[in-house]
Structure formats: structure tokens, C-alpha cells
Chain A
Amino acid sequence: MGDWLSQAWTVARKDLLLEFRTRTAIVSALVFTALVLTVFNFGRDPTAVPTIDLAPTILWVTFTFAAMLAMNRAFQLELENDALEGLLASPLSRTSLYWGKLLANLVFVAVVEVVGLPLFVLFFDVPVAPVLGPLIAVIALATVGFVAVGTLFSALVIRTRFAELLLVVLLLPFLLPPLIGAVQVTARLLGGRPLSESAGWLRLLAAYDIAFVTLATLLFPFTVEE
């Protein structure tokens, strides 16, 4: 147990160090987040639809597409000098490789969300402070699910042409359940409803996480075999 996790962390740490050195993907994702929120802010008519009704959808659409930038980058790092071949020839287990990529992607998306959430509050002036704890928990729950699936699909498409486009096309249908759940829970939280009212959606998010983290872990080795 400890060995595969320590190997996974070695991979994740390397990915994060590479991102820290180049800063290309994180800067792109942060600029993208700020731009999308700006466009939505100026593109809506607050007299037609109340902000509180639109805000949860805007938040999650922004997070979803920003996260896709992270997931695209995860295996592109390994194409340089065919490092992926070196990883596959090493004693690193496929499970550790997947979990390493998953951990790095989670950190990456978390950074985008940490910056994106205050920007969201700034632009849309929604009452986040009273529900900050539960909102962070919901964001974490939904993020784990879609990053788990996204990491698997990014490995699947990496050797194809138009990998970036293909990832979006393949991934979006799988992201619908956590996306709908996250939007529903966020809307209720921002509307001042008790968390207990969202128990069903929270269960769905938790079940999605468990199912897809497990499935992705089991299926990942088949995506990288030659």
C-alpha cells in the first residue's frame, strides 16, 4: 500500500515541479477562468434572470473547462522525449502512474478553484461566506470525480491526433452527472437552503467518486499498453 502511494507521489511531485518551472498550463487555466467569469458577468442581464439563479451554473462551467486544460496537460508532459515509454519500462506500477497523475491534476485544479472562487464572488456578489465550508466540500467532492475520469481519458487520447478536442468530446458526457449534482447543491447552498435538502445529490456525487475512481484505477493499465 505504502510503496505504490509513495511512487504515485514521486510522479505527482515531478509533474508539479515541471508545472512550477514552465507555468504554461496553470497560467492559461487561471487566465481562462478570469476571462470566462468576466464574459459571463458582462454578458448577462441581471434584470431578466436573478444572479443567484445563474451563478451556480457559471461557476461549474468555468471550473469544468478550466479543469480540462489541466487534464490535457497531464500526459502531454510525458510525450517530451517519450518519457512515457521510460515510465512504462520502469518498475512503476500502472496504478501508481494513474494515481500520480490524479494527485497532480487534483492539486492543479484545486489551485484554479482557489483563485476562481474569490473571482466568482467578486463578479457575482453571491453570499458565499455563510456557506463557505459546505461549498468547499461540494467543490472537492465534484472535483475528485471529474478529475478521476478526465485523467483516465487524457491517457486514452494522448497518442491520437486532435487529442485536446477528442478529450472534450469524450469527457463531457461522463461529466454530466457530477456537474448536475454540483450545480444543484451549489444552488441550494447559495439560496440559503439547509445542506440536508441536498442529501440525495451529495450521495450521487460520493457514489460517482467511488465508482469512477475505482473504475479508472482498474481500466488505466489498458489505456497505456502497446
Chain B
Amino acid sequence: MVALDDVTFTLDAGQTLAVFGPNGAGKTTLLKVLAGLIRPDAGRATVAGGRGAIGWIGHQSHLYGHLTVRENLLFWAALYRVPAATRARRADAVMRRLGIAEHAERAVCALSRGLAQRAAIARALIHEPRVLLLDEPFTGLDLAAAAGFRTLLAQLRGAGRVVVLATHNVDEGVELATDVAFQRRGRFVHFAPRGGRGPAQIADEYRRALGAGGG
């Protein structure tokens, strides 16, 4: 089975690509190839700056339940070679930004799902990545936290970060996107700048694009 086929794109600083597709379309595979977690049989994926430049949010938080939020962030900061002198300051800043500073000394296993997801986002941002790969990042966030995260992503885009966001929900992330792709059976059936299109129009085009090919 081919999980990813004939997908070609380039993104520059400040661009946000939203990839929409149904379950099993190959969105996660695409992100894993970009993150270097899966080596493709053919073709190549290059991210400027390599693994150290990528912030990855997958389906799981990648956090250790019996470490505190702060300990987790300091551990991941060390792995991403954040200088030792700035790790604590960086961890404090990113926790404040995501509204979890008061939970810094709590074990991750004691956090609610929403707080754990915010801690996972903090983990992905601890090394100030130039490229963010987000796989269903809004899962588990309440409305306020999701709105805060959207604002944060908009700020990151404004600061020149590249974001690739994969989701099956067209209502999530459309307003953040500079470019939109619809993925089905491993292929991009639509890839274009968002332009002036709003969520309703994109949702309509998405339904027609996927419906035309039989899902």
C-alpha cells in the first residue's frame, strides 16, 4: 500500500500549510516523513536546519508522566541543545505563554488532557523551532486554549516560522493557513494559496474535492 504518492511542495519562512484529509489519507505519514521519522522509499524531504529546527506535535504528548512539566521541558531543551544557561528561562517563558506556569511543578500524569496538550505544545516550542509540524494539534484543547493556541501560531507565523498543520477538521486552522492542501489516499488532490477564501468556502471545496474521487 502506498501511503504517500506524488506529493511535492516547498514552503518559505512565514508560510503555513494546512493539510486537510479524512482519516487514513496519509497526513500523519506526510508529517513523519518531514520530521525524519519515516524514510520514504522514493523521493526526499528536506527541512532547512534539520531535526534541530523542527518542533513536532504528534498524536501523543511525548512527555514523561512521572516528571514534572518543568523537568520535561528542561530534558527536551537539553536534547535540542538549548544552551544550559538559558534553559530555565526558556522553559518559564514558554509555560507562561501557554498558561501553564502554575502547573510547572506538577507531574504530567496529574494533569488534565487539555493541560497535558498545552505542555506538549510547550515541549515542541522549547527550542524555538523554525519549522512546526502539527498533527491534529487542537485535540484535547478547550475553546479558550484552542483560541490562545491559534493566536500563538499566528504570532509564530508573523515571526517567520514555517508551519505545516494536518487535521481532518476543516474548521480548525483554516484562518491560520497561507496555503491549503486536500489529501486523499496519499495524494494532494488540491494544493493552492488560501487567498481570500474563508472557512465555509474551503469546507465546500474540500467536500467536493474528496467527494469527486470517492473519499
Contact = CB atoms under 8 A, between A and B. Distances in A.
Contacts of B63: 81, 83
Interface string B67-110: 10001000110111100000000000000000000000000100
B123 A86 contact: yes
A21 interface: yes
B167 to A, nearest CB: 19
B51 A91 contact: yes
Interface string B13-39: 000000000000000000010011111
A85 interface: yes
A88 B51 CA distance: 9
Contacts of B65: 80-81
Given A80-B65, A81-B61, A226-B32, A14 B75 contact: yes
A219 B7 CA distance: 32
B67 A91 contact: no
Given A90-B76, A90-B80, A83 B71 contact: no
Interface string B34-73: 0111110000000000111010101111111111000100
B34 to A, nearest CB: 10
A211 to B, nearest CB: 28
Nearest to A85: B58
A10 interface: yes
Contacts, number: 72
Contacts of B71: 17
- Chain B's interface size range is 20 to 34
A88 to B, nearest CB: 6
A22 B76 CA distance: 20
A7 interface: yes
**Most central of A17, A90, A225 by chain B CB within 10 Å:** A90
A18 B39 CA distance: 31
Contacts of A91: 50-52, 79-81
A85 B76 CA distance: 13
Contact of A77 (B37, B52, B64, B80): B64
Contact of B37 (A80, A92, A226): A226
Contact of A81 (B51, B56, B62): B62
A17 B76 CA distance: 14
A81 B66 CA distance: 11
Interface string A11-40: 100100110011000000000000000000
Nearest to A11: B79
Contact of A85 (B37, B51, B52, B75): B37
A169 interface: no
A89 interface: yes
Contacts of A17: 67, 71
A88 B37 contact: yes
Contacts of A86: 56, 58, 62, 76, 123
Nearest to B75: A14
Q: Which 4 A-B pairs have the closest CB atoms?
A: A86-B62, A82-B60, A91-B52, A91-B51
27 contacts: A10-B75, A17-B67, A21-B67, A22-B66, A80-B64, A81-B60, A81-B62, A81-B63, A82-B58, A83-B64, A85-B37, A85-B58, A85-B60, A85-B62, A86-B56, A87-B62, A88-B36, A88-B37, A89-B36, A89-B56, A89-B58, A90-B52, A90-B76, A91-B81, A92-B79, A226-B38, A226-B39
Interface of A: 7, 10-11, 14, 17-18, 21-22, 77, 80-83, 85-92, 225-226
Given A81-B63, A90-B52, 9 more contacts: A18-B64, A81-B61, A86-B62, A89-B35, A89-B58, A91-B52, A91-B79, A226-B38, A226-B39
